[in-house]
């Protein structure tokens, strides 16, 4: 079986909600990340197929992945797939690309090396509100606008609650306090800031044009080169924020992830073919896994998936030096560290979604890139 390797990774800066990247659609952000990943290669292989995560697709137009791929200038013959697995979308895209390489799906009748493109993209700033009654009409009285971000990105439709309520249930089950979550969030911000100051993200981030300057049409836009979230928080104020989902709750806007825009892309191919082309693999994909349970318990799904992925890689969890766990909420990382008995010093070393931001469809791919940089350093 072919061995899948990552030969390139790039991402846009992560923009704040209605911030510096809000003038760009998700496919435009995706195209920027794709071009960034391709530009890092001295020899560019043929991209046979693309998988891009995207969760909030309403209003974007048909086939968001294809829009990003063609927007990046890739051939119209490139096979395109949009993946929606909520916060895991970008990571699932990478898993599917790795499987395609391992199955040798695109090399059966040709010796020409080919590669897969995988990543994720999201513009939460451009997600529209919905007017469900407009199709059938409102006969009398008021009608309601539905927030697409909450409805399609942040709401548990099975238990009919905001995912923040799921986080509160997790905190109660594992006896994780408000103070525990605030301390974790502050540490996440400190790690992200330190990583940025040390240039740990410099090799990953591709500069993106900011919005046109008002009243200065001839002036070129500023280039956005850094994440907007890490330095925006006032850490001394974080412990005083109100609970966001329950009156006496523990989850706040400060210890939860934020709403953001951004995109990330990887190039994945067979290891032997990459080396034969003169490309140096960044990392080998040794194992991966999915795990699911009751939707309200999505918070602890990583603790079920990690042991499976480790076993498939032919390793034990003690062999793993560093971990990345998506910080949808601080309590998610804390609970999974507790269950898996992980050392916090080895988890989310460069910060996570709480401090860097969480463009939902992008984050899974960003996590893979972050982990590569941690291992490299």
Nearest to 157 by CA among 296, 55, 329: 296
What's the chain's length in residues? 377
Residues in the chain where the model's pLDDT stays below 70: 108-111, 216-217
Q: Strand 4-11 relative to strand 260-270: parallel, antiparallel, unpaired?
A: antiparallel
pLDDT tens-digit readout, 321-353: 999 999 999 999 999 999 999 999 999 999 999
pLDDT tens-digit readout, 270-317: 999 999 999 999 999 999 999 999 999 999 999 999 999 999 999 999
SS3 (DSSP) at 145: coil
Please report the pLDDT score of residue 109 as a whole number: 56
Please report the pLDDT score of residue 339 as a whole number: 98
Structure tokens at 11: 């991402």
Please report the pLDDT score of residue 220 as a whole number: 86
Structure tokens at 178: 């408000």
């Amino acid at each position: 079986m072919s061995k899948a390797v990552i030969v390139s990774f790039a991402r846009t800066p992560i923009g704040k909600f209605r911030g510096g990247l809000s003038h760009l659609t998700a496919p435009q952000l995706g195209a920027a990340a794709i071009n960034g990943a391709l530009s890092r290669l001295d020899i560019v292989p043929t991209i046979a197929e693309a998988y891009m995560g995207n969760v909030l697709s309403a209003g974007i137009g048909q086939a968001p992945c294809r829009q990003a791929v063609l927007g990046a200038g890739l051939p119209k013959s490139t096979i395109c797939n949009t993946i929606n697995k909520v916060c895991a979308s970008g990571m699932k895209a990478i898993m599917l690309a790795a499987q395609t390489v391992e199955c040798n799906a695109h090399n059966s009748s040709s010796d020409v090396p080919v590669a897969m493109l995988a990543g994720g993209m999201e513009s939460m700033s451009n997600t529209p509100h919905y007017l469900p009654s407009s199709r059938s009409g409102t006969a009398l009285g008021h009608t309601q606008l539905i927030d697409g971000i909450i409805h399609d990105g942040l709401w548990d439709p099975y238990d009919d609650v905001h995912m923040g309520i799921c986080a509160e249930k997790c905190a109660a089950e594992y006896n994780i306090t408000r103070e525990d979550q605030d301390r974790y969030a502050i540490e996440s911000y400190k790690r992200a800031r330190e990583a940025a100051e040390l240039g740990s993200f410099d090799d990953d981030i591709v500069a993106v044009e900011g919005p046109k300057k008002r009243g200065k049409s001839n002036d070129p836009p500023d280039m956005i080169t850094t994440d907007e979230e890490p330095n925006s928080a006032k850490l001394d104020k974080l412990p005083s924020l109100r609970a966001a989902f329950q009156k006496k709750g523990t989850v706040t806007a400060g210890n939860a992830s934020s709403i953001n825009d951004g995109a990330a892309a990887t190039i994945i191919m067979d290891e032997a073919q990459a080396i034969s082309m003169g490309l140096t693999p960044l990392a080998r994909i040794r194992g991966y896994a999915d795990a699911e349970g009751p939707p309200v318990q999505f918070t602890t799904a990583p603790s079920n998936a990690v042991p499976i992925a480790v076993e498939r890689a032919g390793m034990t969890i003690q062999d793993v030096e560093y971990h990345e766990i998506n910080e949808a909420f601080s309590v998610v990382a804390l609970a999974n560290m507790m269950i898996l008995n992980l050392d916090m010093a080895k988890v989310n070393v460069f910060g996570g979604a709480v401090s860097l931001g969480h463009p939902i469809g992008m984050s899974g791919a960003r996590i893979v890139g972050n982990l590569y940089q941690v291992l490299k350093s």
